[in-house]
Copies of this chain bind each other. A is one copy, B any other.
Amino acid sequence: MLEIEAIKTSVFESLESNVRSYCRSFPTQFSYAKGALLQDEHKREYIDFLMGAGALNYGHNNDYIKEQVIKYISNDGIIQGLDMYTNAKEAFIQQMNDTMLKPKELKYKFMFCGPTGTNAVEAALKLARNYTKRTRVFAFMGGYHGMTLGGLSVTSNASHRNASGVELNNVTFIPYEDGYINNFDALDYMESLLKDTHSGISKPAAVIVETVQAEGGVYVASEAWLVRLREICNKHGILLICDDIQVGCGRTGTFFSFERATIQPDIVVLSKSLSGYGFPMSMLLLKPELDIWKPAEHNGTFRGFQLAFVGAKAALEYYQNFNLEQTMVAKSKVIEHVLKNEIAAMHPDIRIRGIGMIWGIDFAKFQESDITGKITQRCFEKGLLIESTGRKGAVIKLLPALVIEDALLDKALDILKEAISWHVQQTVS
């Protein structure tokens, strides 16, 4: 761990904007990374349960991908290709279509946006509005879709919204299935809004949804709820946009998170782990009939970052070759067992939610302020990087690599259990 004094005199403290955030929770300077581990300047190792906020599902510096990346750079493969035809893009599209779309009977066209999730969310909203000639969008309370003005307009977090400095309009927020507003049939309510000529709310172009709200506090929508949502959209001629930025790419147990509900969104937003190596990349999958784009209507210099295509193709190969969906199952069960049996048993106010390799431990019912801050701080001291999320940061979010070694997973869960136990006992006594 970096000494506090060292940090205070660092270039970061003097030259980096106050907006920096994770570094405040994990005050050390990181140098190397491999798989589920990060190493700091002092060669101290940390098990990583952040995994680049979901951008590193296949582990840090995954060797399978690394090899192809280095080879591509070494050979002077084209790195920045705008949206010209390139070998790297062709290979990725082919691989994605052959392994992830066709076999699942998914028929989508590919749109490459600027390489961040919010770039792609913006493109999705534009397309939905232009296709339907409507301006309104429905989004869910607790949802997170990015920091640019369009992405922010569908993101519910008040502190992010306030930072925009302008009114964020044309969006109606609906409670999530099992979210903050309990005992409330949100879809029934949503459909009432659509049917009532006096709801004050015009028919939207689209509904944007995460099948699991990650930033919102790890809320998992049920399959039945997702099916109903798809049905309501069909019935009213509303597009369904699935934001799979954080929980796509295998996080929930299947490559696309919506597979478990056997629904097909009209537009799928992918980013984060898509490139497999932490390279910025995002894209939309869109139903072919939606592709009314005129050339260059939406663009972005870095939609042509070829190294991301190289990484993404390798990642898809890795995903299949190493049977990630199978290997994940046991790891998921280990986490679920520890959380539901051991951690939930520590206090009746602890709530557990999750699926696949994303889990949340909810401390919202605890009176004590910042209990999660204290727990994650203790984890950090013991060698585990883990963060809190959701309303008031009351939910500890577990986002390990899908490929974390079993021993490291056990060790991380032990650290977590100890930290929670310690603080829960203090709180109670």
Closest to A13 in B: B85
Q: How far is the CA of A38 from the CA of B85 in the complex (A)?
A: 12
- Cβ B85 vs Cβ A200 within 8 A: no
- Cβ B52 vs Cβ A19 within 8 A: no
Q: A158: CB under 8 A from chain B?
A: yes
Residues of B with C-beta under 8 A to A142? 198
Interface residues of A in 45-79 (CB under 8 A from B): 50, 52-56, 60-61, 66, 69-70, 73-79
- Cβ A286 vs Cβ B164 within 8 A: no
Do A301 and B32 form a contact, CB below 8 Å, given A78-B60, A147-B114, A148-B148? no
Q: A353: CB under 8 A from chain B?
A: no
- Cβ A135 vs Cβ B173 within 8 A: no
Q: How far is the CA of A12 from the CA of B20 in the complex (A)?
A: 39
Q: How far is the CA of A139 from the CA of B123 in the complex (A)?
A: 23
Interface residues on chain A, number (Cβ under 8 Å): 148
Q: A159: CB under 8 A from chain B?
A: yes
Residues of B with C-beta under 8 A to A189? 181, 184
- Cβ A180 vs Cβ B198 within 8 A: yes
Q: A423: CB under 8 A from chain B?
A: no
Closest to A302 in B: B280
Interface residues of A in 1-53 (CB under 8 A from B): 2, 7, 10-12, 15-24, 26-34, 38, 41, 50, 52-53
A418 CB, min distance to chain B CBs, angstroms: 23
- Cβ B15 vs Cβ A97 within 8 A: yes
A122 CB, min distance to chain B CBs, angstroms: 5
- Cβ B109 vs Cβ A198 within 8 A: no
**Which of A15, A89, A117, A271 gathers most chain B CB within 10 Å?**
A15
Q: A425: CB under 8 A from chain B?
A: no
Q: A291: CB under 8 A from chain B?
A: yes
Interface residues of A in 151-181 (CB under 8 A from B): 151, 153, 155-167, 169-171, 173, 175, 180-181
Residues of B with C-beta under 8 A to A85? 2, 7, 10, 12, 23, 27-30
Contact mask for chain A residues 283-303; partner B; CB cutoff 8 A; 1 contact, 0 none? 010100001111111111110
- Cβ A141 vs Cβ B196 within 8 A: yes
Closest to A113 in B: B147
Number of copies: 4
- Cβ B298 vs Cβ A115 within 8 A: no
- Cβ B181 vs Cβ A196 within 8 A: yes
Q: A373: CB under 8 A from chain B?
A: no
Cβ-defined partner of A16 (8 Å) among B110, B126, B163, B300: B110
Cβ-defined partner of A300 (8 Å) among B30, B86, B116, B171: B116
Contact mask for chain A residues 101-115; partner B; CB cutoff 8 A; 1 contact, 0 none? 000000001111111
- Cβ A295 vs Cβ B86 within 8 A: no
Q: A343: CB under 8 A from chain B?
A: no
Closest to A284 in B: B17
- Cβ A170 vs Cβ B166 within 8 A: yes
| A interface residues with partner B (beta carbon < 8 Å) | 2, 7, 10-12, 15-24, 26-34, 38, 41, 50, 52-56, 60-61, 66, 69-70, 73-87, 89-90, 93-94, 97, 109-119, 122-123, 125-126, 128-130, 133, 135, 139, 141-143, 146-151, 153, 155-167, 169-171, 173, 175, 180-181, 184, 189, 192, 196-202, 205, 216-217, 271-272, 277-280, 284, 286, 291-302, 304-307, 390-392
